[in-house]
Structure 1
Amino acid sequence: MSLILHPEELPVVGIDAHLPPVASDRLHPDALRQRFRSPPAWEPEVRAERRMAGREPAHASVLVPLVMRDELTVLLTRRTEHLRDHAGQISFPGGRAEPHDPDPAATALREAEEEIGLPREHVEVLGTLPIYRTVTAFMVTPVVALVRPGFQLQPDPFEVAEAFEVPLQFLMQPANHRRHAFEFGGERREFFSMPWESGAQRYFIWGATAGMLRNLYRFLSA
């Protein structure tokens, strides 16, 4: 949602504390492997943002990397401020599909390696979530994967200002999911945010990244 310059300043219209968190026994590697092998019947909650005029749709993938620490964490990046799309935002590593990529998982693995230096031999792809259509006209396939620790990241300084990890359990608790609303072009629009604080650092996770995490919540809680 590049049309929003200061999303954290927009009013919170709801917090989903009434929804149950994903049970802790579902947030382990073996449970996640089984969930993707035998997925339940479910529907994604967030599918698309209103597309910018004049943009042709393009396929892309992101890696949703679940790092196997003592508790699973989600590896995220903060984009640099000068980028054309989603500058300064919190995102998953990923990018546009190339003609030589055989499938969305290959795109996600290649982009994660190029963007943050995540070696693909540390990555175990579990499966994908439904395509998410962004305001910038990307048709994004989220590729969920387990990541074995021991890697040394080498972020591309042109694209990535910072890489950090957030506990998966925090992100799978709807009490930490906020709904924001705003008016644009005479229409009411909404988006999710999941603010995360680590020491003195505060990360405002919102937009497409929060939408895909919300869909992951729906998938794991179904």
Structure 2
Amino acid sequence: MMKMGKQKYTGEIVPAQLSLSVGLRDDATLANFLAGDNQVLVAHLQQQLLTCDPQYLYIWGKKDSGRSHLLQAACHASGHQDLRSLYLPLRDLASLGIELLEGLDELDLICIDDVEAVLGQAIWEEALFHLFNRMRNKQHRLLISGNAPPQQLPTRLPDLASRLAWGLIYQVQPLDDIQKLAALQLRARQRGLELNDEVARYILHRSPRAMRELFRALEKLDRASLSAQRKLTIPFVKEAMRW
């Protein structure tokens, strides 16, 4: 069972299995996503929320690329547009069965994460194909992410493969070290922390480079700073992180 979180839609059409709620991370917003080389992708994502054009977006990237962040951010942003949305991380929810897709075409936006987790399974591929068609017929928004471009996914149903390749496709470009520093400082500002360049570089060099690990380090430092009532300096970071 997933942790309860803010849910943008709780209407009765959502299957009983989803009454447990799919949690959205509070920090997964467009405001604290450093676009880096993904400006065009973010622009199209915002356009989809405002105008439903494009109706369908497919984004892909490796683990820690930020695609899950973007899908959850789209759900958060949809609430500001009075849109009903749902985030479905299939890697976590696949065990609930295809019934969780029933009735979802009534929503304005569905964000399906880790689509590759169910591909190769005939029953899932057919269910996704029909959901895709229902969403398209109602001109509702669909945002799907995977770990590879559509042509490289292990899809067995040709009709679904063609649907996944339909529309705009973007690779989420990873951040370089300079952009990671900027992302770390952006997240620090969102938390009300002062993180200067020198301390940010020290964290980047000592922590694992994956963004989720950098943000975990920042979260730990935020708690430690609040508890000790101390600013983030290199000596304090060394002590708090035991580096």
TM bin, normalised by shorter chain, reads under 0.3
Between Structure 1 and Structure 2, the one with more strand by share is 1
Larger Rg: 2
Normalised by the size of structure 2, how large is the TM-score? 0.21
- Kindly indicate whether structure 1 or structure 2 has the higher relative contact order, using CA contacts under 8 Å at least 6 residues apart: 1
